[in-house]
Structures are given as structure tokens and as C-alpha cells.
Amino acid sequence: MNFLSIILIIIIILSLIGIFYVQIFNKLNDLKTKIEEAESIIDENLRLKYDILIRLSNTLKKEMKDNKNYFKEYEKLKEMNISNFDMDRKLNEGLTLILKVQEDLNLEDNEEINQELENIKRLDEKLTATKNYYNKNTSLENSIVRKFPSNLIAKIHKFKVKLFFDGKDMDDEIIDDFKI
């Protein structure tokens, strides 16, 4: 082989490596963008759900005969520095409490409360769809970050394995992640 052939082969190999590198990098950035968009939608819907729960708690407080504030913990959620995972869990606990209080006060026919509960139902549908989208793209990104040789590109650009929306880490030794 002559010198020109060797140079040509080296250029072809480097070009193929470059194309592979760019494809993996673009795929990782695509997934990162999708995950960030999903996080933004989840955050916005959790804020809306929080606002509705506060309105519901205020409505229910007006109907209560005792002056206890059963919703105190949930009213302070916005001030707390917690993850969206924990915010989602706390808001679901708050909704359960609101439904229980509504039942105890025999307010199942209250139109204002039912309208707000319908709004929460629609938000929960959006949240479920968005969480599934987030988890699907997180799973795809995690598989690229873990596999060779794409893990080298991920490491260069500081991509790391992400947790799923439910906060479960499939790589740790904790089996209590799967509590229901």
C-alpha cells in the first residue's frame, strides 16, 4: 500500500468515528431536551394542582365547624424546598385528605368543590402522561449513558444516569423503592 491509501483509510475511519460521535451526542441532547420539557410541564401542572388544592382547602375550612386547620402541612408546601417527586406525593396525600373531609362533611353535591376536583382530575391525566413521557426518555438516555462506546461520549459531556420520575434508582441496593 502506498502512503496515499493509508492516509485515505485513516481519513475514512476518523470520519466514521466523527459521524458516530455526532449522532450519539445529538441523540443525548435530544433526549435531554425532551426530559427538560417534560420536567417543565410537570412543574407547571404541580403548581396548578397545588393552587387548586389550596382553594379547595379554603372552601372546606369555611364549611367546618371546628377551627382546626387540617391542611396546614399542605399550605406550606410551596415554601419548602422539595423535589417534584415529593411534591407530587404530598399533593396526592392532600387530595386524599380533601376527599375524606368532603365526604365527612357530606359535601359531595357541592358544585364548586366538584368543579375543582374535575380540574384536578384533568391535571392528573396530564401529569400521568407527562411522567410516562419523562420516564420513557429517561430510560432511553440512561441506556445510552451506560452502553459502550456511547458511555464515553456521555462521560465527556457530563451526562449522568437520571432517576425516573418516581424517584426510583434501579442501580442502587435499596429494594424498598417499590413500596405501594
Confidence of residue 13 (pLDDT cuts 50, 70, 90): very high
Residue 24 pLDDT exceeds 90: yes
Per-residue pLDDT tens for 78-113? 788 888 889 999 999 999 999 998 888 888 888 999
pLDDT exceeds 70 at position 173: no
Q: How many domains does the chain have?
A: 1
Q: What does the pLDDT read at residue 70? A: 76
Q: What is the 3-state secondary structure of the chain?
A: CCHHHHHHHHHHHHHHHHHHHHHHHHHHHHHHHHHHHHHHHHHHHHHHHHHHHHHHHHHHHHHCCCCCCCCHHHHCHHHCCCCHHHHHHHHHHHHHHHHHHHHHCCCCCCHHHHHHHHHHHHHHHHHHHHHHHHHHHHHHHHHHHHCCCHHHHHHHCCCCCCCCCCCCCCCCCCCHHHCC
Is 7 part of any domain?
Answer: no
Is 152 domain-assigned?
yes
CA distances from 131 to 12, 46, 61 (A): 42, 12, 32
Answer whether residue 108 is part of any domain. yes
Q: Give the model's pLDDT for residue 20.
A: 95
- The pLDDT assigned to 1 comes to 67
Q: Is 84 within the bounds of a domain?
A: yes
61 band by pLDDT with thresholds 50, 70 and 90: confident
Supply the range of the domain harboring residue 137. 37-156
pLDDT tens track for 153-172: 999 999 999 999 875 554 54
In a domain, 142, yes or no: yes
Is residue 28 domain-resident?
no
Task: Note the pLDDT of residue 68.
Answer: 73
Integer Cα distance of 82 and 76 in angstroms: 11
% residues pLDDT > 70 (the chain): 91
**Model's pTM, two decimal places?**
0.81
Average pLDDT over every residue of 17-41: 96
CA dihedral 53, 56, 57, 62 (to 10 degrees): 170
- Residue 128, in any domain of the structure: yes
Q: Is the pLDDT higher at 23 or at 101? A: 23
Q: For residue 177, how many C-alpha atoms fall within 13 Å in the half-sphere facing its CB?
A: 14
Per the domain annotation, does 135 fall within a domain?
yes
